């Protein structure tokens, strides 16, 4: 782009008396004066044009080629700090003493060569910054301007600030229910202590064998990394922060916080899963901040959220599944229906991004996820159902495959929880959720000949009578949403949750190891049993225990605690090894075959839900908290929060 065309675009950032203001206004003013009809004859116009062109060439030649002028250019147009000469070493001695044998001419020659090299480097840097700035979105440019203004204000006040740079100062108030009472029943208290001991076993072994890496291989006793996180490290640490806090493992929480402060780095050149990084890292950091009030967690959460924003740079604003967080280049999974985005991935950003806007004061996060709603509401839904695939370029559905398990699950969860988290003011989210539940009941929920209620999958109008372990979360979701259902449906939704919980318990009870398979079927004469080898594994998943926890809280039926304790005993017998906890390759075998991975969500979800199942209801009460899909608790944004929080000026 010619340099003159940059002036109108960036001139607003320049203050009075800087290059951006007068140059831009002068060029515009000259153009308007010359435009008067009949003001000059053709020859005079031509001469004036030549003089004006020579003047512009001279000005911009000076900008690019006079020493240090590119610093001025980049500082005015592109908001980057000018390079400063390196400070002299202590004592004020010159950094490079004159070399023997060199006179003034040699020094001048060396200085001239150095000046030319510096001018060339500054020129190239200014051009790079120009290119980077032109590629930014308008909201990113506005954010940079706002941050620069805040930095200037901070410098004017002597550099004092209580919050992270670029974030509004915030008076922390711990939400209700961050800590709870001890269980009154001694047996329940003893069981809860056992679950805390399981957490300590998992954490201590991660610390011993895989500290700072993403996950642990508990059999081989070494670190394990998934390509879902790119080069970002520490998934287990961030995922476990809130579990450590609510279990009052104070020393472990302190060492985790120190690692985050010193070592958690998002400046990596790597491709990450937007969904997984959001639910584990952003969700984990937000939750840790809301529980503890430690500013480092707020700062890191917002920093990472900003790095995820380029994922939304698609024609529709439906984000890419994968993003290189250094280059900002995104793409989708190659197997996903002709380059489509996945419903459960782009639909599972809402809770975290609304809280990012709340904590940062930057509305762009909430705007991005609200735009997803707008796109979805414009589309026709086959039979009222949401297919799993949506093309981010065309804005049209891909394959008409509908699942409440993998690829679809947490989209529905977040519709309900967005309404609850808004203190029940998000009427759009509420309507979308209950309309979807009605369609699910009509087209997907079936009852087996043995009386088990299950949720099938829908493929182009045909049902596949299979239910995944992931789908078992829906029992808790239906029960949680019962209170907002039409009055004649409240009891029905609770009953539906109870029936799903029973079916998922049966899928556990019908295995040899009393832990559930990845998927189970209701065809060929079997019910709630995995019939394919690639569906028989268990990777420490939490969804069944999650539903037990919700059903206990909402009904206080003691069977849910008993079913949860059965799962504890099975985990201890079959998954516990010297180096932590491992998943199983086949839950129908007589002997364990461990997969040698301690998933980060085992600490974040499975153990947290078990601990809450055996806790009193005052710990993270539902009227004040919602859980993201990785079990990270986020506070309800009550209507009077604005009056309770004070933003210091």
Cα distance between residue 57 and residue 34, in whole Å: 19
- 122, 271, 276, 595: the catalytic one is 276
Of all helices (H) and strands (E), which one includes residue 139? helix 138-156
Long-range contact pairs involving 366-373 (C-beta distance under 8 Å, separation at least 24) = 368/309, 368/312, 368/317, 368/319, 371/312, 371/317, 372/317, 372/318, 372/319, 372/346, 372/347, 373/428, 373/429, 373/432
Instruction: Read off the tokens for 604.
Output: 């974040």
Summarize the confidence of residues 207-235 as an average pLDDT: 96
Active site residue 132: no
**DSSP annotation of 557:** -
Partners of 635 in beta bridges = 625
Residue 439 clears pLDDT 90, i.e. is over it = yes
Cα distance between residue 163 and residue 220, in whole Å: 42
Summarize the confidence of residues 102-109 as an average pLDDT: 46
Q: How far is CA 350 from CA 186, 415, 449, 454, 540, in A?
A: 40, 8, 39, 27, 26
Contacts of 196 (CB under 8 A, 6+ apart): 247, 249, 611
Q: Which residues define the annotated binding site for Ca(2+)?
A: 629
Q: How many CB atoms lie within 10 A of CB 315?
A: 10
Active site residue 535: no
Q: Which residues define the annotated binding site?
A: 629
* Alpha-helix runs per DSSP H in 180-294: 186-210, 235-246, 250-263, 274-277, 283-292
Summarize the confidence of residues 141-156 as an average pLDDT: 58
Partners of 538 in beta bridges = 584
Largest distance between two CA atoms of the chain = 102
Residue 34, pLDDT score = 37
**DSSP annotation of 538:** B
Burial (CB count <10 Å: 0-12, 13-18, 19+), residue 30: middle
Residue 459, pLDDT score = 94
**To 10 degrees, the CA torsion angle through 493, 421, 371, 605?**
-80
Q: Are 420 and 625 in contact (CB under 8 A)?
A: no
Residue 617 clears pLDDT 90, i.e. is over it = yes
Residue 330 clears pLDDT 60, i.e. is over it = yes
Cα distance between residue 559 and residue 562, in whole Å: 5
Check residues 180 and 32 and name the one with the higher pLDDT.
180
DSSP secondary structure of 423-478: TS--HHHHHHHHHHHHHHHHHTEEE-TTS-EEE-EEETTEEE-EEEGGGGGHHHHH
Contacts of 503 (CB under 8 A, 6+ apart): 452, 453, 454, 467, 528
Instruction: Read off the tokens for 164.
Output: 């992270």
> Phi then psi for 319, rounded to 5 degrees?
-75, 155
Residue 128 clears pLDDT 50, i.e. is over it = yes
**DSSP annotation of 626:** E
Residue 88 clears pLDDT 50, i.e. is over it = no
Q: How far is CA 369 from CA 133, 273, 339, 351, in A?
A: 24, 17, 20, 9
Active site residue 605: no
Nearest CA-CA partner of 241 in 259, 224, 215, 225: 259
- 239, 252, 271, 409: the catalytic one is 409
Instruction: Read off the tokens for 132.
Output: 């980077």
Mean predicted lDDT score pLDDT of the chain = 84
Residue 132, pLDDT score = 60
> Phi then psi for 464, rounded to 5 degrees?
-105, 120
Distance from the Cα of residue 25 to its chain's centroid: 43
Summarize the confidence of residues 289-297 as an average pLDDT: 98
Check residues 585 and 118 and name the one with the higher pLDDT.
585
Q: What is the pLDDT of residues 624-634, one digit of tens each?
A: 999 999 999 99
Residue 264, pLDDT score = 98
Instruction: Read off the tokens for 54.
Output: 């020579």
First to last CA, the chain: 40
pLDDT band at 32 (very low <50, low <70, confident <90, very high): very low
Cα distance between residue 560 and residue 504, in whole Å: 12
3-state secondary structure of 53: helix
Residue 479, pLDDT score = 98
Nearest CA-CA partner of 301 in 276, 327, 278: 278
Nearest CA-CA partner of 400 in 347, 444, 319, 337: 337
Q: What is the pLDDT of residues 50-85, one digit of tens each?
A: 767 776 766 655 544 444 433 333 333 333 333 333
pLDDT band at 271 (very low <50, low <70, confident <90, very high): very high
Nearest CA-CA partner of 536 in 473, 598, 456, 469: 469
Active site residue 352: no
Nearest CA-CA partner of 615 in 63, 58, 196, 161: 196
- 543, 546, 586, 596: the catalytic one is 543
């Amino acid at each position: 782009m010619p340099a003159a065309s940059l002036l109108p675009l960036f001139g607003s950032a320049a203050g009075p008396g800087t290059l951006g203001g007068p140059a831009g206004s002068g060029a515009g003013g000259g153009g308007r004066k010359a435009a008067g009809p009949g003001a000059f004859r053709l020859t005079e116009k031509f001469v004036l044009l030549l003089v004006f062109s020579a003047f512009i060439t001279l000005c911009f030649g000076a900008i690019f080629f006079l020493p240090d002028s590119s610093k001025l250019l980049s500082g005015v147009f592109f908001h980057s700090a000018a390079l400063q000469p390196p400070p002299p070493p202590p004592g004020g001695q010159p950094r490079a003493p004159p070399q023997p044998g060199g006179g003034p001419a040699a020094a001048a020659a060396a200085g001239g060569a150095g000046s030319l090299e510096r001018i060339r480097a500054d020129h190239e840097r200014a051009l790079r910054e120009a290119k980077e700035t032109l590629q930014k979105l308008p909201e990113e440019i506005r954010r940079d301007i706002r941050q620069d203004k805040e930095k200037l204000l901070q410098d004017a006040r002597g550099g004092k600030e209580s919050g992270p740079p670029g974030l509004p100062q915030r008076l922390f108030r711990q939400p209700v229910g961050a800590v709870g009472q001890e269980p009154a029943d001694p047996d329940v208290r003893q069981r809860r202590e056992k679950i805390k001991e399981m957490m300590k076993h998992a954490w201590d072994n991660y610390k011993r064998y895989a500290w700072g890496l993403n996950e642990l291989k508990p059999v081989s006793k070494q670190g394990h990394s998934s390509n879902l996180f790119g080069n970002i490290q520490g998934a287990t640490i961030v995922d476990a922060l809130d579990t450590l806090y609510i279990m009052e493992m104070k020393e472990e929480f302190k060492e985790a916080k120190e690692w985050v402060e010193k070592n958690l780095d998002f400046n990596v050149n790597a491709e990450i899963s937007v969904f997984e990084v959001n639910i584990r890292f952003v969700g984990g950091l937000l939750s840790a901040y809301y529980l503890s009030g430690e500013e480092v967690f707020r700062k890191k959460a917002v920093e990472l959220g900003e790095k995820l924003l380029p994922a939304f740079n698609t024609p529709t604003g439906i984000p890419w599944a994968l993003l290189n967080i250094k280059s900002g280049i995104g793409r989708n999974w190659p197997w996903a229906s002709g380059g489509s985005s996945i419903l459960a991935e782009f639909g599972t950003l809402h809770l975290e991004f609304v809280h990012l806007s709340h904590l940062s004061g930057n509305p762009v996060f909430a705007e991005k996820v609200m735009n997803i709603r707008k796109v979805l509401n414009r589309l026709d839904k086959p039979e009222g159902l949401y297919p799993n695939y949506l093309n981010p370029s065309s804005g049209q559905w891909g394959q008409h495959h509908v699942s409440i398990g993998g690829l679809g699950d947490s989209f529905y969860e977040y519709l309900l929880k967005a309404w609850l988290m808004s203190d029940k003011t998000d009427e759009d989210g509420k309507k979308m959720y209950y309309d979807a539940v009605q369609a699910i009941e009509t087209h997907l929920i079936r009852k087996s000949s043995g009386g088990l209620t299950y949720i099938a999958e829908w493929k182009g109008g045909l049902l596949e009578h299979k239910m995944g372990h992931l789908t078992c979360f829906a029992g808790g979701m239906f029960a949680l949403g019962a209170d907002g259902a039409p009055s004649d449906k409240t009891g029905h939704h609770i009953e539906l949750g109870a029936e799903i919980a029973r079916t998922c318990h049966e899928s556990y009870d019908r295995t040899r190891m009393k832990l559930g398979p990845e998927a189970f079927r209701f065809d060929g004469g079997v019910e709630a049993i995995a019939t394919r080898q690639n569906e028989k594994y268990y990777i420490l998943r939490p969804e069944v225990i999650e539903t037990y926890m919700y059903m206990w809280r909402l009904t206080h039926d003691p069977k849910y605690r008993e079913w949860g304790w059965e799962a504890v005993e099975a985990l201890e017998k079959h998954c516990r090894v010297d180096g932590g906890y491992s998943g199983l390759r086949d839950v129908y075998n007589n002997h364990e075959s461990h997969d040698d991975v301690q998933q980060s969500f085992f600490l974040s979800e499975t153990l947290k839900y078990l601990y809450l199942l055996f806790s009193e209801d005052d710990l993270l009460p539902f009227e004040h908290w919602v859980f993201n899909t990785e079990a990270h608790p986020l506070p309800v944004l009550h209507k009077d929060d604005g009056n309770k929080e004070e933003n210091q000026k």
